[in-house]
Amino acid sequence: MLRRLAFVVATLAVAACQRSGGCTGAYCGTLVIAAVGEPDILLPPSTQEAVSRDIEEQLFLKLADIGLSTNTIGDEDFQPLLAERWEWDGPLTLVFHIDARARWQDGQPVTASDVAFSFDAYTDSMVASPFRAALRRISSVKARDPQTAVFRFRERYPEMFYDAVYHMRVLPAHLLRGVPRDQWKTAPFGRQPVGDGPYRFVAWKAGQTIELVADSTFFLGRPAIRRVIWRFTPDIVVATTQLVADQADGRDQLVTPDNIERARAAPQLSIYPYRGATYGYLGFNLTANGDSTHPHPIFAEREVRRALTMAVDRARLLKSVFGDFAKVPPGPVSQLWWIWDPELRQLPYDTAQAKRLLSARGWRDSDHDGIRDRGGQPLAFHVLVPATSTIRKTYARLLQEQFRLVGAQMDIDEVDNSVVSERAAAGKFDAIMLAWNTDPTPTSGIPQVWTRAGIGRSNYLRYDNPAFDALVDRASAAATREQARTAWRAAIETVSADAPGIFLFANDNVAAFHNRVTDVRIRPDSWAALLRTWRIPPDRLIDRDRVER
Amino acid sequence: MTAWLARRVAASIAIVFLVVTLTFVLMDLAPGKPMLGPPERPVDPQAEAVLEAQFGLNGSLGVRYVSYVRQLARGNLGESFGLRRPVADALAEAIPNTLLLAGAALFVDFLIGLALGVYQALRAHRLPDVVLGNVTLFLYSVPTFWLGLILLLVFGEWLRWFPVAGMSDPILCPSVSSFYCLMDRLWHLALPALTLGFVGAAGTARFQRAAMLEVAGQDYIRTARAKGASERRVVLRHQLRNALLSFITLFGLAFPFLLTGAVLIETIFAWPGMGRLATDAILRRDFPVVNAAVLLASTLVVAGSLLADVLLAVADPRLRVRGGETV
């Protein structure tokens, strides 16, 4: 028996040693990313999942991309990618010159026709792209010649260049033209894409991995890390465990302080905090639960909302939930936005004033049960919380206690995301815990969620203040960054004073990567955007970097 | 026997059909819309409507059900909303992974469970039996996911003896192409299979111990001993063999149980099987995948039960039926 056991152990040991040696040098690294979730499809206009966009970042290029400053106004901070240069031909016409060296990975050149085709696909209602609305102010894209693409806009505004380049990745027209648009949602191309980016698609093992390999002929420079593998896990805890156990090299967001501490304690990992794109809040439905034609019996009153906001010690809650890895937002603002300014005027934490305001509006504890009431109706409401969000569930419990201290009762309804979505869209809630993940500019995120134009779409709270809408319009149309900043400040202070929600957190993102990886630069809006410039120096290679297949 | 079998098969098909119909209706009634996405994703009602039409979600429940049954009769399980691919393709990739995990767990379950059950029965009411009885009781009452998390923490994260997730090393062994990769696959299989197997083995051991003790008091065991058969022969040929009859029923039901029990384990160990596929699909309201997963699970449960009945009839002459009557 012992002999047999020894044989098995010896066989395993020999087998374990069989894969040593292999690649050496500057272009050998392998990066294993522990991803939460799995892409739906790798066809940029049809993509819904965040992890798809990270992978597409390596496969499909944009004409140009936003810089590390994430400045979206004008074009001075943008970096050339497929377009080697561009110029304005009048106030409404933007001309891009495609880099003649750019090639699809099947050898075909990337042309202006590909650009025009891509715009047509992104804006085709049959493709149902989530980016379609973002391109609405571009009237046409045409190929003037194989190297020149011409964008025409419907109007002049400060973020014309951003709209032209940020939302749309250029697609290979010669491979996709024959696919009927109503079949793009499940097109085989989306599971075996051919791109023009720094990495080539190698394999997709459903539920397990997607593997990309560096394109050594990439026209903007050979990526230093030879192979990138996304390893899919069902949740953030499993992903962090993989990372800590040294079975993955990196993760872009650790999300909770627990995960951050686990990663910090792992000797092989380095931590990279960067500006987060998310802000979270408790939103009040301003119309009756399930009936948008009537005002909400509690939250329709501005003073009641202000009182509840003043009842919450947001700084203390933040510390308790996030530790040092988040900030209290001055309104519906993420740290990613350039308008972020903690000095903006906000409602203070003042429970005495909160109680006075509630009493002044007739909410008194007439039956001495600890809950205020008015006309027989208690100051009680339900909050909708996604059961999958640990952060928001924790916040809901803490808020419950803070409200209780001023005589308000909040009951928590924890439901899955699908139910939250459906009830939010239908207005079937009193209050809701939301966390918006924003793109780099407030001009898309704020109108969608907080203006009248967003009602029936993402303005679930039905917040409607014409003065606020006018300020947002003025900010979006401002010719200079300073004019825009002034208008945005006024808009944010207006919405904060109206208190349609209690703005609770704007988290920092914290990434962790193996400390053999150098030159790690993370662009806050898309952590993987600069992956092609990261390196693993030859003297730091480990076994998995050297493996040849 | 043939008529009995035909009746059982017909009843089994009817049960599966009923379960599938109920699932279709219940999924439709469940709150949540498949094309809506998370609440924080900007809502585009127009895009939502286009996708609903493209995935055939815009008809009435009756129209969609008839269409679903028609497609099912042709062997078409539909297209997944979330995975953006045919459901059959997704199942074809996930089923072998789950079968591998469930098969390995079943092996651990029965191997350890049988051995422990027999060992305990032979030492009934003595110290080893009492100790093992308490250990198996503890394991039996432990939630599978909890045991999985503990094994993961101790042997995966702290000691690093086993991989913490996935079913192979994505760099060295994307496929089983060598002996090394076969070992790698087994290495990845170890923790999830042991988790499922240990919990199952605890139940199996208790079941087998009781069956052995019940058989031990039978006349034929006394007769065998009176005829001078060795203790080893009495235990193996007479006692164990007869105790195994009820074990066949357990076997028939254990496999589907393991498949369903694998749901949480597949999530904890990021094992890309049916359980994880079904869980994700339920959360996404990906109806075609949920319907297909239920169809598969109910077929397995019914087939497992049928198989157990057939095996019992074959193994135990007393239960054999001929022309609908017990002989």
The pLDDT of residue B323 is: 44
pLDDT of A14 over the 50 cut: no
Q: What is the mean pLDDT of residues B27-37?
A: 77
Residues β-bridged to residue A250 = A33, A513
CA distances from A50 to A104, A230, A332, A528 (A): 24, 13, 22, 11
Distance CA A193, CA A175 (A): 10
Cβ contacts of B166 on chain A, cutoff 8 Å: 208-209, 231, 242, 247
Cβ contacts of A448 on chain B, cutoff 8 Å: 42
The pLDDT of residue A145 is: 96
Cβ contacts of A246 on chain B, cutoff 8 Å: 160
pTM to 2 decimal places: 0.86
Q: What is the mean pLDDT of residues B61-88?
A: 90
**Amino acid sitting at position A538:** P
Q: Would you place residue A467 in the very low, low, confident or very high pLDDT band (cuts 50, 70, 90)?
A: very high
The pLDDT of residue B307 is: 81
Which of residues B1 and B108 earns the better pLDDT score? B108
Instruction: Report pLDDT digits (tens) over A397-452.
Output: 999 999 999 999 999 999 988 899 889 999 999 999 999 999 999 998 899 899 99
Cβ contacts of B41 on chain A, cutoff 8 Å: 48, 130
Average pLDDT, chain B: 84
The pLDDT of residue B39 is: 65
The pLDDT of residue A13 is: 47
| Helix residue ranges, H only, A348-441 | 351-360, 390-405, 417-426
The pLDDT of residue B298 is: 87
Return the half-sphere exposure (C-beta side, CA atoms, 13 A cut-off) of residue B204: 31
Tokens of B4: 């009995």
The pLDDT of residue A363 is: 97
Low-confidence winner among A242-256, A289-303, B183-197, B220-234 (lowest mean pLDDT): B220-234
Residues β-bridged to residue A109 = A103
Where do we find the tokens 């035909």? B6
Share of chain A above pLDDT 70, in %: 96
pLDDT of A15 over the 80 cut: no
Instruction: Report pLDDT digits (tens) over B280-291.
Output: 898 888 889 999
The pLDDT of residue A524 is: 93
The pLDDT of residue B326 is: 42
Instruction: Report pLDDT digits (tens) over B103-158.
Output: 899 899 989 998 999 899 888 889 999 999 999 889 888 888 899 999 999 999 88
The pLDDT of residue A426 is: 92
Tokens of A477: 């149309």
Our CA-based measurement puts residue B138 at a distance from the nearest CA of chain A, in whole angstroms, of 26
Selected residue of A17, A43, A205 to mutate for chain B interface (largest B Cβ count, 10 A): A205
Q: Would you place residue A234 in the very low, low, confident or very high pLDDT band (cuts 50, 70, 90)?
A: confident
The pLDDT of residue B325 is: 45
Note whether A310 and A534 are within 8 A (CB).
Answer: no
Cβ contacts of A234 on chain B, cutoff 8 Å: 267, 270, 276, 279-280
Low-confidence winner among A183-192, A337-346, A463-472, B255-264 (lowest mean pLDDT): B255-264
The DSSP secondary-structure symbol of B43 reads P
Using a 10 angstrom Cβ sphere, with 0-12 exposed, 13-18 middle and 19 or more buried, the burial of residue A300 is middle
Cβ contacts of A242 on chain B, cutoff 8 Å: 164-166, 270
CA distances from A101 to A110, A198, A399 (A): 8, 13, 57
Where do we find the tokens 């809502």? B43
Q: What is the mean pLDDT of residues A325-345?
A: 93
Helix/strand/coil (H/E/C) assignment for every residue in A9-75: HHHHHHHHHCCCCCCCCCCCEEEEEEEECCCCCCCHHHCCCHHHHHHHHHHCCCCEECCCCCCCCCC
Distance CA B327, CA B316 (A): 11
User: Computed from CA positions of residues A446, A448, A452, A456, in that sequence, does the dihedral angle turn out positive or negative?
Assistant: negative
pLDDT of A12 over the 60 cut: no
The pLDDT of residue B245 is: 74
Residues β-bridged to residue A270 = A513
Using a 10 angstrom Cβ sphere, with 0-12 exposed, 13-18 middle and 19 or more buried, the burial of residue A42 is buried
Q: What is the mean pLDDT of residues B215-229?
A: 86
pLDDT of A461 over the 90 cut: yes
Our CA-based measurement puts residue B255 at a distance from the nearest CA of chain A, in whole angstroms, of 23
Low-confidence winner among A347-361, A442-456, B245-259 (lowest mean pLDDT): B245-259
Residue A458 is nearest to which of B33, B42, B83, comparing CB atoms? Answer: B42
The pLDDT of residue B260 is: 64
Q: What is the DSSP string of A288-349?
A: ETTEEEEE-TTTTSHHHHHHHHHT--HHHHHHHHHTTSEE--SSS--TTSTT--TTS-----
Note whether A27 and A224 are within 8 A (CB).
Answer: yes
Q: What is the mean pLDDT of residues A138-154?
A: 97
Contact call for B164 and A238, based on CB within 8 A: yes
Q: How many residues does chain B have?
A: 327
Nearest residue on chain A to B270, judged by CA atoms?
A233
Contact call for A206 and B156, based on CB within 8 A: no
Share of chain B above pLDDT 70, in %: 90
Contact call for B156 and A421, based on CB within 8 A: no
List CB contacts of A146: < 8 A, sequence separation 6 or more: A98, A109, A111, A112, A113
Q: Would you place residue A148 in the very low, low, confident or very high pLDDT band (cuts 50, 70, 90)?
A: very high
CA distances from A472 to A131, A174, A443, A444, A467 (A): 21, 41, 8, 10, 9
Note whether A279 and A373 are within 8 A (CB).
Answer: no
Strand extents, DSSP E, A137-196: 138-145, 148-153
Cβ contacts of B50 on chain A, cutoff 8 Å: 125-126, 128
Which of residues B277 and A21 earns the better pLDDT score? B277
Contact call for A246 and B273, based on CB within 8 A: no
Where do we find the tokens 């499809």? A41
Tokens of A281: 């809040």
Q: Would you place residue B320 in the very low, low, confident or very high pLDDT band (cuts 50, 70, 90)?
A: low
pLDDT of A11 over the 60 cut: no
Tokens of B246: 């009820």
Which of residues B14 and B4 earns the better pLDDT score? B14
Angle at A75 between CA A73 and CA A78, to 5 degrees: 105
The pLDDT of residue B41 is: 66
SS3 content of chain B, % helix, strand, coil (to 5): 75, 0, 25
The pLDDT of residue A6 is: 46
Q: Would you place residue A18 in the very low, low, confident or very high pLDDT band (cuts 50, 70, 90)?
A: very low
Contact call for B42 and A191, based on CB within 8 A: no
Q: What is the mean pLDDT of residues A64-76?
A: 91
Contact call for A419 and B31, based on CB within 8 A: yes
Phi, psi of A255 (to 5 degrees): 70, -60
The pLDDT of residue B317 is: 66
Contact call for B283 and A206, based on CB within 8 A: no
